[in-house]
Amino acid sequence: MRVQLSLTLYDLIMTKPEMTTLVAISKEPVSKALDSALKSISLKQGMEIVSKQPNQSSGSYFSERWSMPALNEEDRNILRNIAAEHGSDLAFLSSSFNPEAIRVLAMDMDSTLINIECIDEIADFAGKKSDVAKITEATMRGEIKDFKESLRRRVALLEGISVDVLESVYQERLRPNPGAIELLAAAHQRGLHTLLVSGGFTFFTDKLREQLGFTQTQSNTLEIVDHKLTGKVLGNIVDGVAKASYLEHACASLGVSKVQSIAMGDGANDLLMMHGAGLSIAYQAKPVVKEKADAAFDRVGLDATLLLLD
């Protein structure tokens, strides 16, 4: 027993902790007060944090990097809250993350790539937005676990709506979120396979594929009869499991692993897709998603992702 304990202590002493690169991103020069606050809290926790890269500017953003031991979710949330107080978003890059190995960019659509939840806006034309939005919000927060049932309930409320409403939503209300166009352009310039995978509808993903040049889009098909929505979805519903599967198949088709992908989302049904990706990014996301993600963007645009690939 004494020998075993001795070896265990030796291993603990000799084994170097896994390191993480902490990246602060802001629209303004990263505050010196943030650097001081991070070092102060790290000292109190008995952790060493070392500056790697002082304030850098690239395009619309500023960033600063530090090296520190890998953190658990609770500690990461503490640091994110501190950064938020100083106007910055944070990303935690593991020592195994290799930007040059990235081959796939996978994104959710509603409230990630674009500024709206399409189903809520469709319902608005029928005076049912409040009813649909309540279900949508509860689902994205993870309070409704069965996404398929949630979607069926919401789509049923759309029965009788003219298909022209979909075009109105696309033309009048749907806009790419800040940085989306720039991110997609840069991804294609790098030769990445771009995947838009959504629990939303093909009407919108098809148009966005044409507009933004996605390599692949996957989503749900609304049944239409006599130019009106029937309140039903055709075929298999794209839920969280399906999203993860589409990303894994895209990686496999390219002969790469999931760690060579970036996955971006905002709701609970994106978590399976984001899990195991080389870089997971929560954009304007629900707390349950931010807690699990490598990066959480609340103040910067989607194109801030490019700073993490430098």
Q: Which domains does the chain have, with CATH numbers?
A: 2-95 (3.30.70.260), 104-309 (3.40.50.1000)
Average pLDDT for residues 26-45, to the nearest whole number?
92
Average pLDDT for residues 198-223, to the nearest whole number?
98
Beta-bridge partners for 66: 22, 51
110 a catalytic residue: yes
Q: Which two tokens stand for residue 154?
A: 């919401």
Quote the CA–CA distance of 162 and 165 in Å, as a whole number: 6
Neighbours of 17 (CB within 10 A): 11
- Options 35, 75, 89, 110, the catalytic residue: 110
Quote the pLDDT of residue 2.
37
Average pLDDT for residues 160-183, to the nearest whole number?
97
Could you give phi then psi for residue 12, rounded to 5 degrees? Answer: -65, -40
Quote the pLDDT of residue 303.
98
Q: Can you state the angle between helices 32-44 and 73-85, rounded to 10 degrees?
A: 150
- 116 three-state secondary structure: coil
Band of residue 3 on the pLDDT scale cut at 50, 70, 90: very low
Out of 65-79, 226-240, 273-287, least confident range:
65-79
Radius of gyration of the chain (CA): 21
Quote the pLDDT of residue 15.
56
Mean of the per-residue pLDDT values of the chain: 92
pLDDT above 50: residue 4: no
Quote the CA–CA distance of 85 and 279 in Å, as a whole number: 24
Query: What does each C-alpha distance from 159 to 120, 123, 228, 233, 245 come to in angstroms?
Result: 14, 10, 8, 11, 30
pLDDT above 50: residue 1: no
pLDDT above 80: residue 6: no
Q: What percent of the chain has pLDDT over 90?
A: 81
Out of 15-24, 251-260, 268-277, 287-296, least confident range:
15-24
- Options 35, 89, 108, 239, the catalytic residue: 108
What is the CA angle 174-212-176, rounded to 5?
A: 30
Could you give phi then psi for residue 58, rounded to 5 degrees? Answer: -155, 115
Quote the pLDDT of residue 140.
83
Beta-bridge partners for 220: 201
Out of 9-13, 14-18, 159-163, least confident range:
9-13
* DSSP-derived pairing of the beta strands 261-265 and 104-107: parallel
pLDDT above 90: residue 264: yes
Quote the CA–CA distance of 232 and 225 in Å, as a whole number: 11
Beta-bridge partners for 85: none
